Structure 1
Amino acid sequence: MTADELPSVWTRQRRSRDQPALNRAQIVAEAVALLDAEGIDALTMRRLGTRLDAGATSLYRHVANRDELIELVVDEVYGEIRVPAVGDDWRAAVSGCAASVREMILRHPWIASLLGQVGLSYLGPNVMRLNEGMMVLLADAGFPADEAGPVISTVLAYVIGIGVNEAAWLTTLARSGQTEQDWQRRLGPALTRAVEDYPSLRAQQEQLVGQDPTALRDRNFAYGLDRVLDGLEPRRRA
């Protein structure tokens, strides 16, 4: 790497000759599988090499270091995100894309700890495809061209913020070996005592008793997204 090059897998020139027994796609796919199974702390070049039945040296022919590997796995899971055509209902299209981002985060909860430290991940082809698709969607929906970028940032900031919190919660549950319903039942008596002296909180808690916590998370996500889109609506064809 020269002094002018940025430290990213997306700026480094790839070697022209790949090792026949191993390629970058295999490495990234196995890294995602390792992360899904064991979380971010398990991702090391040595551990990954063991799973691929290859030495860490072999991996370095394709990925310079762990930071580059993280850029690659982030872009890989971004490839799962769908961007619908706008059709007759721009809100449905944006909501569909937002839901797809959230689903990706919940499928891969380890990403919650990476989104703030993934270097030049926005140069990856899947992230580029996502942004291009959203730009086209918003243009078709009637948003001014110079506002498309801020609209994307606004929607993704909401979705990622909610998704990261949910992913952290689900990771905690997974480590405890409990379901959301199990946790709700165990926490119920303590929560009832905690809100006893707070009338507004107590009334809210009484309304939530017996509700499915997963369905409640879905409703809360949809409510917040609707309010974001309400705020963006006046900017269409402004």
Structure 2
Amino acid sequence: MPSPPSSRGAANRIRPDIELLDEEGLDGLNMRSLGKRLDSAATAMYWHVKNKDNLVRLATDEIWGEIELPDLEDLDWRTAAEALADGMYAMITRHPWIAQAQAGYLHYGPNKSRYDDRILAAFEKAGFDDAGADRAAATLFMFVLGNAVGHAADVSLNRRLSRKGEDAETQLAQAMSEATEIAGHYPRLRRRLENPTTANDYNAAPESSFAFGLTALLDGLRDRLTGALG
């Protein structure tokens, strides 16, 4: 079997692209901004990349390589799935622009493929057939992405307000105040607002919500598999 292709040779060249995306988001990625970070010889390399879409694809695949893949020989399927979910969640929160890129850019490359192959292997180890493993992997992917979007949205909103010359903190505080006033008209929301331990956290997801949801999701997949086998 041939060895999988590697993007390691381009890693150092694509890092300025990733750093710019981390700082400025997708809207801040352009050749002029990249040129400020690179010498003229390095900048010339980007003329061989067709367009921004290719830059984003290369940067995206590079950061998928940051996720440590669990060894399935040493771990049970559930521990491996948890590690893969945690790794993806941490990667997206480090690079929140990828949540936005997910909706408008193609994502493929050796690092993404290695991750996908490992998560399918974890669900196959659990006992799922090919179709079941595909569905389980897709469900886990969407759960992690959905949970990470909140953090990405906060970063994007703060960046947008700052670019407009507005005080992001003041704007957000005003929005939270208005949202709280509206919520007070609804009984279940009002009850939470009147509780001193939860009032200050209104509009914020509970700190343990990701862990709670991941446990519930994997419990459901386990039970579904047990029922199918039984």
TM-score when normalising by structure 2? 0.77
Aligned 1:21-36 pairs, distance under 5 A? 24-36=10-22
Report the alpha carbon displacement of residue 133 of structure 1 after superposing the two structures with TM.
1.1
Q: Provide the residue aligned with 2:157 in structure 1.
A: 172
1:100 is matched with which residue: 70, 80, 87?
87
Cα distance in 1 for partners of 2:10, 2:218 equals 39
- How many residues are treated as equivalent by the alignment? 209
1:195 aligns with 2:188: no
- The answer on whether the counterparts of 2:180 and 2:202 sit within 8 Å (CA) in structure 1 is no
2:199 is matched with which residue: 205, 209, 230?
209
Report the alpha carbon displacement of residue 150 of structure 1 after superposing the two structures with TM.
1.4
Q: Provide the residue aligned with 1:126 in structure 2.
A: 111
Q: Which runs of 5+ in 1 are unaligned?
A: 1-22
Identical-residue share of aligned pairs (%): 33
Report the alpha carbon displacement of residue 40 of structure 1 after superposing the two structures with TM.
1.4
Cα distance in 1 for partners of 2:191, 2:87 equals 33
1:37 aligns with 2:23: yes
Aligned 1:137-156 pairs, distance under 5 A? 137-156=122-141
Cα distance in 2 for partners of 1:139, 1:36 equals 35
Q: Provide the residue aligned with 2:208 in structure 1.
A: 219
1:228 aligns with 2:224: no
- The answer on whether the counterparts of 1:27 and 1:59 sit within 8 Å (CA) in structure 2 is no
- The answer on whether the counterparts of 1:49 and 1:59 sit within 8 Å (CA) in structure 2 is no
Report the alpha carbon displacement of residue 154 of structure 1 after superposing the two structures with TM.
0.7
Report the alpha carbon displacement of residue 231 of structure 1 after superposing the two structures with TM.
2.1
Determine helix, strand or coil for the equivalent of 1:84: coil
Report the alpha carbon displacement of residue 183 of structure 1 after superposing the two structures with TM.
5.4
2:51 is matched with which residue: 62, 65, 69?
65
1:114 is matched with which residue: 80, 96, 101?
101
- The answer on whether the counterparts of 1:36 and 1:108 sit within 8 Å (CA) in structure 2 is yes
Cα distance in 1 for partners of 2:75, 2:53 equals 42
The CA RMSD over aligned residues, in Å, is 2.9
- The answer on whether the counterparts of 2:88 and 2:144 sit within 8 Å (CA) in structure 1 is yes
Structure having the higher helix fraction is 2
TM-score when normalising by structure 1? 0.75
- The answer on whether the counterparts of 2:183 and 2:189 sit within 8 Å (CA) in structure 1 is yes
Report the alpha carbon displacement of residue 209 of structure 1 after superposing the two structures with TM.
2.2
Change (3 A) 1:115 1:217: farther
Deviations 1:60-117 (A, max 9, x none): 23x2222111110110111112332455653332122112111111111111211122
Deviations 1:131-159 (A, max 9, x none): 11112222222222331111111100111
Q: Provide the residue aligned with 2:70 in structure 1.
A: 84
Change (3 A) 1:110 1:189: closer
